[in-house]
Amino acid sequence: MTAVICRFCGGSAGSFVLDLGLLPSTGVGRTEPVGAELRVDVRLWLCAECGLVQLPMVAGGADVAGPAAFPDPGVASEVVAWLMANSEPPDTGMVLEIPGPGGRSWSQVLAGRSLRPVTDPAAAADIVIDARFALMCAADQRHALLARARRLRSRGLLVLHFPSLAALLARRRWDQVRPGVNAYYSIPAVVEMLARVGLTARAAQEFPEHGTAAVIAGRTEEEDDSVSRGAERHLRVGVRSVEAYGELQSAVDNETAALRACLKDYEFGEVYGYGVTPRAVALLNRAGLSQSDLAAVVDPSATSRLRRVPGTSIPVVDVAALTRARPRAVVAFGAELLPQARRAASSIEASGGTWLTTTPAGPPEGARR
Ligand SMILES: [Zn+2]
């Protein structure tokens, strides 16, 4: 087996904890011919030394670039309010916001503080913010975190806001694991990483509605008990336990099997899919499905330019095409899509069609512990 090297600490002791198989590296959004897409082995690896969960960097292997765009978590004002309440940042000073592939700039939210953006590419800042998923996509995690630490003035604060690995694990959101997203942070792993670049995590906070967490760090000895409480909570969920990821693997295996089961009673052309999401792309590729299994997948987004589901021959169509086709069944990729799908294509049931899902319908998962 090829050795894995941790993207942060360089260690090679660790375990693979999730295997999604070969997925198109482009995720959602490209239109290359079938078979022309780069496929990557999407597996999560837990470093036994620093605790960072990551897509492994394989010795001598090419890295994967180009993450899909992230949705805006819509939580900037909440995180900024927490930052202001917990860290006594300066009313005036320089702020550096690291650009990234998702989310909106915090500049408007911070504008009332008289903080000025850093424009000199080498200048230091009083506050450095990484809240747009840039750090988690960095190939070299240590280099990226050091680069942020070096931009801090002596009493400066580094703010990291990131999707929470504990939330991913508790809600079994395996679909958040994607090619090009190289690191998946828990509070204890972030605390460890910060310590190894000479910073102390001063405060930590979770934003459960959004499935994210944030940590404030600086060159200080101060640490409030929100850090240890947050780390303990994440450890209880099992972020450093190989066994805890077994349920995540079961969730994706079960959902792939459920998709195959949805299709088995229907003939060619009778079933459509709903929602060209990263989850749908992963499931359709894992199940090895083609247009002979699923007539088309509906993309409700009017702005989509997709011609087919990445990695497959399955065409992408709009809601109007679905309505005209009057299929016997439509599969929503995840029960949470059902209400939206039913509203968008309300004639399906009226014309005798059935809605199916790849996960059991019911309240959202997340209350496991
Ligand atoms: Zn490590």
Measured in Å, residue 12 CA sits from the centre of ligand 1 at: 8
Domains 76-237 and 246-357 share a fold: yes
Measured in Å, residue 124 CA sits from the centre of ligand 1 at: 28
Are 220 and 200 contacting, i.e. CB atoms less than 8 angstroms apart?
Answer: yes
Specify the pLDDT at position 99: 86
Q: How far is Cα 28 from Cα 177, in angstroms, rounded to an integer?
A: 13
pLDDT class of 254 with cuts at 50, 70, 90: very high
Measured in Å, residue 130 CA sits from the centre of ligand 1 at: 20
Measured in Å, residue 61 CA sits from the centre of ligand 1 at: 18
Measured in Å, residue 58 CA sits from the centre of ligand 1 at: 13
Measured in Å, residue 252 CA sits from the centre of ligand 1 at: 26
Residues 211-221: tens digit of each pLDDT: 999 999 999 87
Q: How far is Cα 159 from Cα 86, in angstroms, rounded to an integer?
A: 12
Q: Is the confidence at residue 366, as pLDDT, over 50? A: no
Measured in Å, residue 21 CA sits from the centre of ligand 1 at: 23
Measured in Å, residue 25 CA sits from the centre of ligand 1 at: 24
In percent, the amount of the chain with pLDDT more than 90 equals 63
pTM of the predicted model, to two decimals? 0.89
Q: Is the confidence at residue 31, as pLDDT, over 90? A: no
Measured in Å, residue 141 CA sits from the centre of ligand 1 at: 10
Specify the pLDDT at position 367: 37
pLDDT class of 191 with cuts at 50, 70, 90: very high
Are 95 and 159 contacting, i.e. CB atoms less than 8 angstroms apart?
Answer: no
In three-state secondary structure terms, 338 is helix
Q: Which of 19-23, 321-325, 344-348, 365-369 has the lowest mean pLDDT?
A: 365-369
Specify the pLDDT at position 93: 83
Nearest residue to 309 (alpha-carbon basis) of 268, 278, 341, 345:
278
Measured in Å, residue 56 CA sits from the centre of ligand 1 at: 11
CATH of domain 76-237: 3.40.50.150
Measured in Å, residue 306 CA sits from the centre of ligand 1 at: 38
Class (C level, CATH) for 246-357: alpha beta
The secondary structure element, H or E, covering residue 140 is none
Distances (CA, A) of 175 to 49, 53, 101, 234, 333: 26, 15, 18, 19, 11
Site of tokens 């620093």: 50
Measured in Å, residue 51 CA sits from the centre of ligand 1 at: 6
Measured in Å, residue 52 CA sits from the centre of ligand 1 at: 6
Q: How far is Cα 23 from Cα 26, in angstroms, rounded to an integer?
A: 9
Measured in Å, residue 54 CA sits from the centre of ligand 1 at: 9
Domain borders along the chain are: 4-58, 76-237, 246-357
What interhelical angle do 141-150 and 187-196 show, nearest 10? 70
Nearest residue to 179 (alpha-carbon basis) of 318, 281, 87, 272:
281
Specify the pLDDT at position 365: 43
What mean pLDDT, rounded, does the chain reach?
87
Specify the pLDDT at position 12: 94
Measured in Å, residue 289 CA sits from the centre of ligand 1 at: 36
pLDDT class of 3 with cuts at 50, 70, 90: confident
Which is higher by pLDDT, 224 or 151? 151
Which is higher by pLDDT, 84 or 90? 84
Measured in Å, residue 269 CA sits from the centre of ligand 1 at: 48
Q: Averaged over 178-187, what is the pLDDT?
A: 93
Specify the pLDDT at position 1: 58
Are 216 and 159 contacting, i.e. CB atoms less than 8 angstroms apart?
Answer: yes
Which is higher by pLDDT, 254 or 26? 254
Specify the pLDDT at position 6: 96
Measured in Å, residue 11 CA sits from the centre of ligand 1 at: 5
Contacts of 7 (CB under 8 A, 6+ apart): 52, 54, 57, 138, 139, 140, 141, 142, 182, 183
pLDDT class of 51 with cuts at 50, 70, 90: very high
Q: Which two tokens stand for residue 30?
A: 């490209």
Q: Averaged over 98-119, what is the pLDDT?
A: 78
Q: Is the confidence at residue 327, as pLDDT, over 90? A: yes
Measured in Å, residue 224 CA sits from the centre of ligand 1 at: 25
pLDDT class of 305 with cuts at 50, 70, 90: low
